[in-house]
Structure 1
Amino acid sequence: MTDDHSRELYDRALSVMPGGVNSAVRAAIEPYPFFVQKGDGGHVIDADGNRYIDWVMGLGPLLLGHDLPEPVRAGIQRNASEGPIYGTPTEIEVDLAEFVVRHVPSVEKIRFVNSGTEATTSAVRLARGYTGRNKIVVMQGGYHGAQESTLVEGDAENPAPSSAGVPQSFAEHTLPVPFNDEDAVREVFEEHGDDIAAVMTEPILANHGVVYPEDGYHEFLREITDEHGSLLIFDEVITGFRVGGLGCAQSEFGVTPDLTTFGKIVGGGFPVGALGGRAEIVEQLAPSGPVFQAGTFSGHPVTMAAGLETLQFAAENDVYDHVNGLGEQLRSGLTEILAEQAPSYTVTGTDSMFKVIFTRDGPGANSLEEQCSNGCRQRPTCPRYDSCPKNAADVKNAETDRWRRIFWGQMKERGVFLSQNQFECQFVSYGHTEEDVEETLEAYKEAL
């Protein structure tokens, strides 16, 4: 493989864009990222003509893959040809809103915005406005967009900004706790319960190694927030319409939050975010309530068409059977490979999400007969249970440098494009095939 053109493009980009990119994670590839020219089904082709099996899928939005089915493409093109934006409501945004309300358990009303960050920012503001409280409980390592209220690290006793430009006074209202740690949540409610507006969590810690919740964890969050008059917010920007099908992850776990944030798939690959939930809460958004939220491009007709056509196609075809089946093949195949070649490592993921975490000090190969066979499920009887990741710190303690500096490049050389670091999830699309899965598994065998 040659990458001369990508290197030239990156050299030009460094002169006009900070770090040569428009989103920080894209620069995680060293010494420079490859530039994509086009997509083709479950593959991408870079600026030098190299072809890769693409398991990044735009970091999640592309449920259908790069080649959109004809009815989806036609619906998008029809709306694009009629005009880009009007500054007034359109029927297509009502259609998409009705679809989401019909299928997602928590959503009685919805507000469309322009990104997952905008959705989570609005959710925090809405929770504070609705409850009259200030503090937000978040999970350490969870990602809720580039917003001041959640760019916070440390713990509940010593929260601190995780980015320059975020005032300490903002961070003091955010209480980070470890994912899957009920005792830590109880402690923050004992100390701050009267001022906690909401607990915000991803149903699955999907931006930090794909960490599955322990049995009963979400039910516990539902109970303790109800007990203290706080809201439970599920950030389903990643899991929405990918885990649990059209009902999203909340339907799979059987827990209904007060508010849900969306992004990625709900816009069919175009810029989007959304915030939905109980009508009495969402009605607090302007103009029907006192919590201000607005945006010129919110409910953009082309994005709304892309989202609606994508979800309708998924509802009427075998999309979820296809992507979840390939996801299971990948995770099962990886589990078998690791048992032979790297028994301390952990396969994670569910439905059409997957990842291999380079965990340390796992059980020996001769004790893995009863392990989770299709991705870690936090099952106490699994021989991996004591060493599999329970929270973000566990993932951070894995061999993250080896994953990024050695393994990622080995997979790229074999024509497989994985997410840019140990933390980001990987996704199966409707454009992928069983041949893609088999080729990827062979690449894992050689690269591990």
Structure 2
Amino acid sequence: MGKDSRRLYGRALSVLAGGVNSSVRAEPSPYPFFVEKGDGGEIVDVDGNRYTDYVMGYGPLLLGHDLPERVAGAVQSEVARGPMYGAPTEVEVELAEFVAEHVGSVETLRFVNSGTEATVSAVRLARGVTGRDKVVVMQGGYHGAQESTLVEGDAESPEPSTKGVPSSFARETLPVPFNDEGTVERVFEEHGDEIACVLVEPVLGNNGVVHPVEGYHETLRSLCDEHGALLVFDEVITGFRVGGLGCAQSVVGVEPDLTTFGKIVGGGFPVGAIGGSAELVESFTPSGDVFQAGTFSGHPVTMSAGLETLRYAKDEDVYSHVNSLADELRAGMTDVLEDYAPEYTVVGVDSVFKTVFTRETPESLEGACVSGCEQRADCPRYGTCPKDAGDIDDAETERWKRLYWNGMLDEGVFLTPNGFESQFVCYAHDDEDIDETVAAYERVVSSV
């Protein structure tokens, strides 16, 4: 950080709420750095400082900041034709066909403009087709800035998690702990005929990176089937990053009724989507009676960027590259923790990673997961690794934020600025980036 970032933040405070357009961007204190440009797997701030970037726009940039020529060309060609039309274009059909071809649960889609809009629309659709109002969500899960999920507490006493959300909205939301089969079973016993859907990330991605324990999603699938509710997978973070083109649902082995997408499916441009069976998704207007519309939905520039990004990922074996680098990174981080902080837990899957500053050390680390927590019942960490958002909250999140994050930034490594949100490896990263990051990680962890 430097004087130019400080100057820009001063200007921003005069005209933007809190000086930013998304709350998390206000970090670090006392002022954030302002980015001038991206460069491959790095970003450069307005003061000329370079950082290895693992935020990747909070997930959308699978390929990194420099778009391959064919992707950039597709975007530029679309822009040259015109900004947008308020009428259908072929490219939105092509992107829908690509997603439907590769994601097993998806036959039909509706494109929108953000992950939040996707989950809002999915919840409305579930309520519309079931005629029910209640929604089961995971405590600490994040499904965008929507009234139905900005709720805290438990199923007995849900409350709004922010001012501006009416208590009447919260009463229709039933928060349960992730990976707790007993609690969700009891909630269905009490409210089964009132529940429209269960909204869940296949892997918690916005509150640590928490894998499902064996059988958890199968339990959700069974309960929804038994009680006539819909199972909705929020794959805004995991979609086209975990599980490759098949998304995380192909890894957990459970097929949802609806899936929400965002981030990568737009190739770095604003996007969201709801996908599922034709029978369900056709319930949106104009073919059905659940209203949904948007001026910028299916924006041709976004559709082109998303389509060419996914085609490139398929043709160039992008997933093997990013996943192997992330495995290498998580393994290196795990080795460092054995020496300096064996109580901490490395988590992640495919190209997603995080260190959670958990507080308990197993008696032995023999046979432990070597490249991120997998929720293996035979792992010595199984009793201490995070199982839900509450376990993440109980970690040393202030140490992570105040010491570790700033220490890594001083080393030239840009991470998401709290102990909750995920980090990402991109196609532009290489082995040298990983080696340098692990070395920086050791210097910082050994001192915090």
Q: State the TM-score, normalized to the length of structure 1.
A: 0.99
Cα offsets for 1:339-384 (capped at 9, x unmatched)? 11100000000000000000002225xx112101111011121111
In structure 1, the residue matched to 2:257 is 258
2:162 counterpart of 1:154: no
Distance 1:231 1:28 in 2: 38
2:431 counterpart of 1:434: yes
Task: Give 1:373-384 correspondences, 5 Å limit.
Answer: 373-384=370-381
Distance 1:120 1:280 in 2: 18
Q: Matched residue of 2:349: which SS?
A: coil
Task: Give 1:173-192 correspondences, 5 Å limit.
Answer: 173-192=172-191
In structure 2, the residue matched to 1:46 is 45
Distance 1:3 1:197 in 2: 51
Alignment counterpart, residue 417 of structure 2, candidates 417, 420, 427: 420
In structure 1, the residue matched to 2:28 is 29
Distance 1:356 1:30 in 2: 21
Distance 1:433 1:59 in 2: 19
Q: Is contact 1:76–1:302 with CA below 8 Å preserved after alignment?
A: yes
2:263 counterpart of 1:239: no
In structure 2, the residue matched to 1:271 is 270
Task: Give 1:183-262 correspondences, 5 Å limit.
Answer: 183-262=182-261
2:440 counterpart of 1:443: yes
Question: How far does residue 220 in structure 1 lie from its aligned partner after superposition?
Answer: 1.0
In structure 2, the residue matched to 1:113 is 112
My pick for the range that moved more, 264-273 or 30-39, is 30-39
Cα offsets for 1:398-443 (capped at 9, x unmatched)? 0000000111111011100011110010000001011000000001
2:3 counterpart of 1:4: yes
Cα offsets for 1:236-261 (capped at 9, x unmatched)? 00000000000000011111100000
2:288 maps to a residue whose letter is G
In structure 2, the residue matched to 1:86 is 85
In structure 2, the residue matched to 1:13 is 12
Q: Matched residue of 2:377: which SS?
A: coil
1:73 maps to a residue whose letter is A
Q: Is contact 1:211–1:348 with CA below 8 Å preserved after alignment?
A: yes
Alignment counterpart, residue 400 of structure 1, candidates 386, 397, 418: 397
Distance 1:21 1:183 in 2: 41
Distance 1:137 1:78 in 2: 43
2:379 counterpart of 1:385: no
1:354 maps to a residue whose letter is F
Q: Matched residue of 1:349: which SS?
A: strand
Q: Matched residue of 1:444: which SS?
A: helix
Distance 1:242 1:112 in 2: 19
Cα offsets for 1:97-150 (capped at 9, x unmatched)? 000000001111000000000000000000000000010000001000000000
Distance 2:63 2:316 in 1: 11
Q: Is contact 1:212–1:390 with CA below 8 Å preserved after alignment?
A: yes
Q: State the TM-score, normalized to the length of structure 2.
A: 0.99
In structure 2, the residue matched to 1:167 is 166
In structure 2, the residue matched to 1:62 is 61
2:390 maps to a residue whose letter is A
Distance 1:400 1:439 in 2: 24
Distance 1:424 1:329 in 2: 20
Q: Is contact 1:30–1:405 with CA below 8 Å preserved after alignment?
A: no
2:346 maps to a residue whose letter is V
Question: How far does residue 3 in structure 1 lie from its aligned partner after superposition?
Answer: 1.2
Off by >2 Å, runs of 4+ in structure 1: none
- Segments of 5+ residues of structure 1 without an aligned counterpart are none
Q: Matched residue of 1:337: which SS?
A: helix
Q: Matched residue of 2:169: which SS?
A: helix
2:138 counterpart of 1:142: no
Cα offsets for 1:185-206 (capped at 9, x unmatched)? 0011011000000000000000
Aligned residues: 445
Task: Give 1:309-388 correspondences, 5 Å limit.
Answer: 309-364=308-363, 367-388=364-385
Distance 1:155 1:180 in 2: 14
1:278 maps to a residue whose letter is S
Cα offsets for 1:272-308 (capped at 9, x unmatched)? 0000001111010000011000000000000000000
Question: How far does residue 28 in structure 1 lie from its aligned partner after superposition?
Answer: 3.3
Q: Matched residue of 1:286: which SS?
A: coil
Q: Matched residue of 1:197: which SS?
A: strand
2:68 maps to a residue whose letter is P
- Segments of 5+ residues of structure 2 without an aligned counterpart are none
Question: How far does residue 385 in structure 1 lie from its aligned partner after superposition?
Answer: 1.0
Question: How far does residue 25 in structure 1 lie from its aligned partner after superposition?
Answer: 1.1
Q: Compute the RMSD of aligned alpha carbons.
A: 0.7
1:427 maps to a residue whose letter is F
Question: How far does residue 11 in structure 1 lie from its aligned partner after superposition?
Answer: 1.0
Distance 2:65 2:146 in 1: 30
In structure 2, the residue matched to 1:133 is 132
